Each structure stands twice: as structure tokens, then as C-alpha cells.
Amino acid sequence: MPERLNQFLTANNLTWTSYPLRENYPTLKEGERAVLGYFPGRTEASQAFEKIKAMGFEIAQLEPVKRNGLRHNLEDDHPSFSEYRMVGDYPFMVTVVTENERAPEVTRVMEDNGGYV
């Protein structure tokens, strides 16, 4: 953890919680790839998601992305902590598991709908 962040947490009586990975965490099979696309709005993300589902991809999900792993928003307390933001201008994510060969096809749909891959 960066020292500046550690100092801030200590000074404000906050703690950082790390959760262990689940034992049965999903893994990709050989020849598979996960494609992650970040979108500026739910509309763009939904359009890409629906097109991808219509293409026959079964493992796909759309979800909002949390700004950070803390329960407390660091930016509200001190502007210098804005660098710890995770999302920025792309608060929605579409995740697709596909064969390596179809990854460019999924990427193109995401980018055509305003996504950042």
C-alpha cells in the first residue's frame, strides 16, 4: 500500500480490508479469453451487451464498477487522493468469456458502442 494512503487511513481512523479469493474462483479454459469493456454510460454498455448476447455468447455480464475498495470515499476528504479512483469516466463494465479466435469480434462490438477495451 502506498505510504501516503497508509498515512491518510491512519490519520482518519480508517482501515483497509482485503478479502481472500474464493476457493472456487472461476478460471478460463485453455483457448479462452476474457474481454473487458468499460463504458461511459449504462445505455452504451447495454447496447453492446445485447448485441454480444445476440451473437451467441453465453458467458457475458454487465455491471457497474465500484470506484474503490474502501467504504469511505477518499476524494471527499482530500483532492490529492483522486489518483486512487478506479473507474473515472467509464463506470460500467461488460465482461465476455470467448474463444481466442472470437475476441476481436467482441472487442469490435464493444468499441463500436463507445466502450474502452
Q: What integer pLDDT is reported at residue 70 of this predicted model?
A: 44
Domain 27-112 part of CATH 3.30.70: yes
69: helix, strand or coil? coil
As a whole number of Å, the end-to-end CA separation of the chain is 27
* pTM, full prediction: 0.64
pLDDT digits (tens, 9 = 90+) for 29-57: 999 999 999 999 999 999 999 999 999 99
Higher pLDDT, residue 20 or 69: 20
Q: What integer pLDDT is reported at residue 64 of this predicted model?
A: 87
What the block records as the C-alpha cell of 52 is 454480444
Q: What integer pLDDT is reported at residue 83 of this predicted model?
A: 46
Residues 10-19: contacts with CB under 8 Å, at least 24 apart: 12/72, 12/77, 14/70, 14/72, 16/69, 16/70, 17/69
What the block records as the C-alpha cell of 76 is 471527499
How many degrees, rounded to 5, is the angle at CA 40 between CA 65 and CA 72? 35
